[in-house]
Amino acid sequence: MSQIEKTVFYKVDGQALHVHEDGPEDGQIVLVVHGWSSSWYALSPLFKDLRNRFRLLAVDLPGYGESPRFEERTTIAAYADFLAKFVRQLSDQPIVYIGHSMGGMIGMTMALRHPDLIERMVALCPTVSGNLSSFINAFVSPITLLERFGPLNWLVSLLEPHVIGLTDRLMRPASFADRTQIPEEEYKRLRYDARRPGQGRVRAECYWAMRNNDLRGQISKIDVPTLILWGMEDNTVPLRDASAVALEWPDADLRVIPNAGHWPQFEAAETTRRYVKAFLGTPAKLFKFYDLD
């Protein structure tokens, strides 16, 4: 099989989409989707396993990373429909979907709106209710909402390089476990994506898009084999959303990972990779009978 590794722009109905692509050109597509204030890099610890078997397509959602934002207001349904069109441009076969945080919510929404498109799904710390933690709502979201408006966005961007310690004080407790083992280089990359200039508008729109896309009461209708991983110390998307999964979606394989916050793929990389590899290696017909432990 011919291997590819490249960064490329695709066009979907005239909208540019920046994609990190890797793996065999004729492999099954695995669509990798990041969350709020992030980029394709968000799930990179999983790539070395995925690229050996799948055609890996890790996207920058419109408005994030190198992808220009939508002209219209951003919604979760718009992201789900846009990605569905993107996938159908490339293949008529079902895909594997892997999403982190808001990317998990987008995947669940896609599974509800396009049930024929996804063969199986992995969601890491997914937003289910759309209600982020009290910490995020109290300390982080006000900065995001300020960025929604031009003059205030300019002021925040101007001051940020001089007060980067503020980002650290807010981001670390919201995102990582108390004794996190995330490498400093990877933390700095995630921090850069979280504070990338020019994304204030889409960050604000996505904050409200998640809140307006509560999936409670709907996830029981998802008929896609799904692995859900959560960091035990997640202070961004609280474990109360995991409780909604346990109550409403008993067929989903829900796993809680200790010593990890909102980024288990970086903080507990080996454990996360082991769960994902076992899930992706399981024949679909065995999902209801197979215990990953």
Residue pLDDT, tens place only, 119-128: 999 999 999 9
> Among 70-84, 140-154, 170-184, 198-212, where is mean pLDDT lowest?
140-154
In a domain, 293, yes or no: no
In a domain, 292, yes or no: no
182 membership: H or E segment, kind and range: none
Helix, strand, or coil (residue 256): strand
Helix, strand, or coil (residue 223): coil
Specify the pairing of strand 55-60 against strand 15-24: antiparallel
Average pLDDT over residues 196-209: 86
Summarize pLDDT for 85-134 with one digit per residue, the tens: 999 999 999 999 999 999 999 999 999 999 999 999 999 999 999 988 77
User: Based on the structure, what is the number of domains in the chain?
Assistant: 1
In a domain, 291, yes or no: no
Q: For residue 200, list its beta bridge partners.
A: none
Tokens 């709907």 locate to 218
Tokens 């990953």 locate to 292
In a domain, 123, yes or no: yes
Q: What is the extent of the structural domain holding 119? A: 3-286
The Cα 184–Cα 60 span in angstroms is 23
Helix, strand, or coil (residue 32): strand
- The number of helices, as runs of H, and strands, as runs of E, in the chain is 12, 8
pLDDT of residue 254: 97
Radius of gyration of the chain (CA): 18
Burial of 26: CB neighbours in 10 Å, binned 0-12, 13-18, 19+: exposed
| pTM for the structure as a whole | 0.89
In a domain, 184, yes or no: yes
In a domain, 38, yes or no: yes
Domain of 149: which CATH number? 3.40.50.1820
> Among 27-31, 192-196, 289-293, where is mean pLDDT lowest?
289-293
In a domain, 185, yes or no: yes
Q: Could you tell me what percent of the chain has a pLDDT over 90? A: 65
Summarize pLDDT for 142-160 with one digit per residue, the tens: 555 555 555 555 555 555 5
